[in-house]
Every structure is written in structure tokens, then in C-alpha cells.
Amino acid sequence: MTKPNLSRRLPPLLALSLLLGACSQAPSTPTTSAPTTTTAPVSSPAEAHLGLGEAGVLPGGAPINQDASRNARLGPVTVPPGKGLSAQAFWGDLTSLVQLRVLVLHTGTGDFGLSTARALLRQNGIPFTEVDTTATTLTPEQLRSSLGVGLYSGVVLTSSALTVQDSSGAYVSALNADEWNTLFAYERAFRVRQLALFGYPQATPEDYGLRAVPGTESASTDVTVTPEGRSVFPDLTASALPIRNAFNYPTQLTPVPGVSTTPLLRDQAGNILAATSTAPDGRERLILTAAENPNLLHTQLLGYGLMQWLTRGVHLGEYRRFLQVDVDDWFSASDVFDPATGQVRPGAYRFGAQDAVSLRDQQSAIRAEFPLARNFRLAQAFNGFRADPAAPNTCAPDSTVKDALSAVTKCVAGSFDWVNHTRDHFLMDTMSYADSLTEIQTNFEIAAQLGLPVSRQAFVTPEHSGLGWYSPAPGTPKQDFGLQAGNAEMLRAAQDAGIRYVASNHSVLSQWNPECPNCGVTSPLNPNVLLVPRWPNNVGYDTTTPAEAAGRYNAVYGPRGTAPYHDHDLSYEEFLGSESRLGVLHILNGTAWPTYMHVGNQREYAPGRSLVTDWVRAVLSDYSRYSTLPLNTLKWDDLGAYVAGRTAYEKDKEQIVATWDRNTNLVTVRYLGPWNRAATMYLTGTNSTQGSTTTYGGRNLTRMKVGALGALLPVQPR
């Protein structure tokens, strides 16, 4: 049923986008966006740069525009009266069955909480249905089937009262009293949990047992997890969690008959910013009184626990975290940026034998220092044209060895994953089939001669060339002409060489799928090739020392740079802090995408130090300060296979129906697509020996094929 246009939406808030502009061999460029509020427009171009993270900075970015978060206001809400309709329709022919799908109730495309709900559910691969409560009347028929099966196993409210403003500016709920009663009756009948992503503590439309503490509202605070909160956020550490650029309402408990409230997060004054609450009718609810946004650190850190609580740890899809780092151009010489002159010296540095031995030891030290990354392994994308296959296998070559790096490469080969980057590093935008095949196959032959354990199905093209992102004329910036403008002959050669997975650039819009953040992209020129996006960062390709890295960055974004952004030149420590916070956010969003750097960044500029391992250590230090969830590192062949499986699931999941019997804790899964094929399915919270099962965060994640005949799996709810 369609509703009349009864209200206007609240101004969108915190509509921040993680937009990275970067090229393969240059710092990423900060992206300008329109302001996210109509009441406080941006006053200067610098303020238009969006930011994120603990300190509110984007790579190359200034502090974010705080006006959007300051306008993230809610308040006492009036619930429109209904017609007094009874919810008795729920009580006929109900079952103990619910489908593993989440209902998202929102107030339209401008709803500030909608992007958060979408992001958290997509990261976990959880199917969901959105209902715009300003346009659709909520009825029992939307919530349970004619056979008495509940259609949703969890409910997300973008704000606790689904707040909009009427023509006078007063806060009203988009649902009337009948609709709220319908929703509550459903949640009670099917034991479905409700998550409010942002809420003003009040008694309507229902009371959580919390009240705001006047005068404590702010856009910045720190919170810690309470002892009781560890049942919801078991992975979070005792460190204070920073909430930045997000308006929040600190609260205190208030006695409410029949309501039991458990604080989850408290600020330094002891005020509550998140709590679970049991309603008088037994329904379970969780409310956050700080605004959320998927590009903010606190939202991503809380997201895993929130989704597990909402679904009781049983849902379609899966969530894991990854630390993948690619380093391009092993064996090649590196350009070097001179911070004193601002000039680049072409080919001025070549990664050396001692650098390689030290890098192996630095990697081992990182594993020992950070148990959460105990299987961390750098992936080296190599160009074999300068390698000497006849070099001896030794980590201590003497002066008689023609190419010391080749000798040491043989010695440290087992320490890294190796990925084909072509023999000569020629751009492949217009390369012929024959030349492309020669570049790939010859490099594989060199790998075999050197004894490199190379990933055979993965490939990194030089500068992500051949994928439709190229310079239209010499000396001009690269442009995104789309994957259709790529090199089909190169892709055909790659396929014939056994390649199935090709690295793409996440900063190029056509080379990743914003609607499916965990999906690879099937090449439109060759359906047998899957593109796996890689994250750029601001460690310049032509930098080998801290002075060069900071100087390169400041030459662009410092006050005297080509794109002035900061009010001072950043020190190396400040630069590294900004970059590491972005790296942490990439980890938290659950994608398996590698961050890519370049071989000059691996120079041992001081004993046991390199720009690459400095970045890795900074990321791991920031991450482990807040979370105890382990980080996965996969070899490229395994990474490609994982991305292929997750991509297949994401494309099929709307035709996968999973029904959970709450009485028996058995889940029936069926694929409703073509009868003669099976779909890839992920199920979290299983207690099954079927398929392939991995344990992560204390939960079993099962991957298996499922067809029209279906499968029956036992589950263990939290």
C-alpha cells in the first residue's frame, strides 16, 4: 500500500563517500564533493574535501567539514495515530520458521542511516529488503507468508523512530501507531531482533529505558565497551573507541516498568551511547545514540558485532578481514623523487640483495610482533627481464655473482607470494596477442628457472594497462574509458596462458563494482577473466626513504604543493598516521583487496626498516589497538578463487532462500534459479560437516554448492 506524501525528510547527514583518486605511480588525489547539508554550505574549496577515520582525514585530505555531523539532530517524536486496526492477523497459522533475510526500514533515499545499513549488510553478504516507510504502509502481509513463515530474521531501523519532519518542521514518525504495532507484533511472534542505527532516547514509539543527559551532546567523544557489552562486541579491546564527526546523545538509565536495559558502550563520564533493551513483551532491541556512517572508524569497528547480534550469529553470507599487500616491479629499477629539488631521477635506484634479505626478516618480525597477522606475506609482482636464472642460490652473494639480487631472490623465494607482472613491464593497452602471450609466458619461464613459487592463475598488468584506463595522448593524464575500451587481445593471451584473475585499480570507477563491494568484476571483453581490485595509497612509487615519501606527498598536498590541502607540511610520522588509518578502514570493510605499493618502497633505508613495512606496522598497530579479529593473507591464486566464489554468491544470493527453524536449529537452503545448475552459498553460524567450513571470530562459516533440491544444515545461534 502506498502512503501519501506526508512529510519531508530530515536533511541528509554524514553522507561521506570514500572516493579515492589515484594513479598507479602517483599519490592519490583528494576528491571534491558537494556539501552534505543545505544549512551550512562549504565556504571554501579546501573544506569540500571529505575525510574519515579517527582524525578525520582522507589521504591528502584536510579535516572534514564538521557541519554535516553537527546537523545530525533528532528529537522528541510524535507518532501519528492509526485507525486502531488489530494485529490479530499475525496469530493465525504461525510457524517457528523465519527466512534468513533482514528488513531495513528507512525514510527514503535521503535517509542518513540508509548507507550505513546497506554497507554493513553488504559487507557480510546478508540478503536484505528495503522498505521506504514514507511511501509504503507496513502491513502483516509484508512480514510473513501465507503459510505462516516469517520473512525476516532481523529488522534494522535507520533511526529508532524513523524520524521525518512535517511541514511545520516538527519531528514525526514515518510509521503510524498501527504500523508500529504491526512491526512489534511480528518481532514478538517470530523472536526477531531489532537494531536502531541511531536514536534519540525517548519514550515513543517505544521506551528503551534511556534518557538524554542535557548539555552533553557533541560531535566527538570516546567510548569503551562495558563488561556486559563484550557479549555483543567480543572482538573489541579495552582501548577507548574514538567517535569523531558523528553527533551523539549521551544517556543514562531510567526505570521503566517491564524494560530491562543493558549498557554496551559508555563515555568517559559514564554516560551510555549504546545499549540492548528487552521490551515488556520480550522483544530484544539494540539502540545506538551516536550517528553512524560506513566511512567512519567507529561504525566499521562496531559493525561486525552489530550484525552478529542482529542475526543471532546465523545468516547467509560471511565476513572476514584481510591484510593483502602487493609490491610491484621486483627486479626493475625505480625512479627516485628528490625532495630538495622536486625533481624525479629516472631509474636511479634498484632494489638490492641486502634489501631483499632484510625484507624477509622484517616480514618475519611483523608476524612475531602481531599475532593477528601471523600468516602475513607480501606478494611480489615481478618483471624478470633483468633476472639472471644462472645465479647461485645464496643469501650472501660475493662480488663474483653477476646479479646479486637474482641470487638472493632464489634464497628468499619461499618467503613471498610471486605474481606475474610481465617480463619487460611494457604497457599493454594496444599490445598484440602474440606479444602479450610472450610477455606472460616468458616471465613464467623465468620464475620456474629461479624456483619462485608463483601464483599461476593471477596476473598484474604493468600500471593496470590493457583495462581501458590510459592516456589519450602522450603526456596527458590517464582517463577511464571503461572496460570495453580495454585490450581484448591481451586478455585472450592471458587466458591462454592460464590466467583467470587480473588485478585492477580500485581508484578507477569502471574497475570495481560499487553496488557489490565484495565482488570482482568479470571482464566484458572476456568472461573467463575476473578483475580483482587493488587499493592505492599515497606512498609514492618513486620514494625509498621517509624524507622522500613525506616530500613527495607535501609537494602535492602541502601549503606550497600543486594541490594545496594542509596548512603545514606533514612530517613522515603524520603522513604515516594518515595512511595507516585509511588502511585500517579498508581492512574493516571486509574486502580482500590488496593494497599495492612499489619495489623502491622496500628499500632498507635504516636497519630493519622500509616504507612498506613501516606502513604495515602502522596499520597493524592501529588495528590491533581496537580489535582482536585475525587478519587473513591469501596467495594470489587463492585470493582470486576466494573473490570468484564470493562474487558468484553475491550474484546468486537473491535466488537463494534459507529458512531457519527456530525450534530445531536447522536451516533449509534452496536455490530458485535454473534447475540444472547449483549456486555458491555461504552460511554463517553452522554446526555442519557439509561443504567447506572455516572458523572465524568463533563462528563457523560454511561454503557449499546448493541446487533446487536444497540442503539441510544445523546451526548454532549466539
Mean pLDDT, the chain, rounded, equals: 89
Cis peptide before 205 (omega within 30 of 0): yes
Amino acid present at 544 = T
b vs e for 368-378, b when ≥16 Cβ sit within 10 Å of the residue's Cβ? eebeebeebbb
- Please name the residue that has the C-alpha cell 596467495: 635
What global pTM score does this model have? Answer: 0.90
Mind listing the pLDDT tens digit for each residue in 299-355?
999 999 999 999 999 999 999 999 999 999 999 999 999 999 999 999 999 999 999
| pLDDT on residue 34 | 25
Mind listing the pLDDT tens digit for each residue in 643-672?
999 999 999 999 999 999 999 999 999 999
Mind listing the pLDDT tens digit for each residue in 273-301?
999 999 999 999 999 999 999 989 999 99
Tell me which residue of 208, 59, 83 sits closest to 139, measured CA to CA.
83
Mind listing the pLDDT tens digit for each residue in 105-164?
999 988 889 999 999 999 999 999 999 999 999 999 999 999 999 999 999 999 999 999
Indicate if the pLDDT at residue 71 is higher than 60. no
The span from the CA of 477 to the CA of 23, in Å, is: 9
Which residues, at least 6 apart from 624, have a Cβ–Cβ distance to it below 8 Å? Answer: 237, 370, 372
The span from the CA of 390 to the CA of 207, in Å, is: 76
Helices of type H across 458-531: 488-496
What are the angstrom distances between the C-alpha of 299 and each of 71, 293, 531?
Answer: 18, 6, 28
Task: Cell numbers for 191, please give them.
Answer: 523472536
Which residues, at least 6 apart from 210, have a Cβ–Cβ distance to it below 8 Å? Answer: 201, 251, 252, 253, 254, 261, 272, 275, 277, 287, 289
| pLDDT on residue 561 | 94
List 144's β-bridge partners, or say none. 150
Which residues, at least 6 apart from 484, have a Cβ–Cβ distance to it below 8 Å? Answer: 468, 524, 525
Mind listing the pLDDT tens digit for each residue in 435-464?
999 999 999 999 999 999 999 999 999 999
Helices of type H across 376-466: 404-412, 433-450
Task: Cell numbers for 277, please give them.
Answer: 533493551
292 contacts 685 by C-beta, under 8 angstroms: no
Under the banding of pLDDT at 50, 70 and 90, the label for residue 52 is very low
277 contacts 261 by C-beta, under 8 angstroms: yes
Indicate if the pLDDT at residue 428 is higher than 50. yes
SS3 label, residue 546? helix
Which residues, at least 6 apart from 527, have a Cβ–Cβ distance to it below 8 Å? Answer: none
Q: How far is CA 362 from the centre of its chain?
A: 27
Which residues, at least 6 apart from 386, have a Cβ–Cβ distance to it below 8 Å? Answer: 331, 332, 333, 403
| pLDDT on residue 689 | 85
The span from the CA of 508 to the CA of 22, in Å, is: 8
| pLDDT on residue 169 | 85
The span from the CA of 425 to the CA of 288, in Å, is: 51
Mind listing the pLDDT tens digit for each residue in 500-531?
999 999 999 999 999 898 999 999 999 999 99
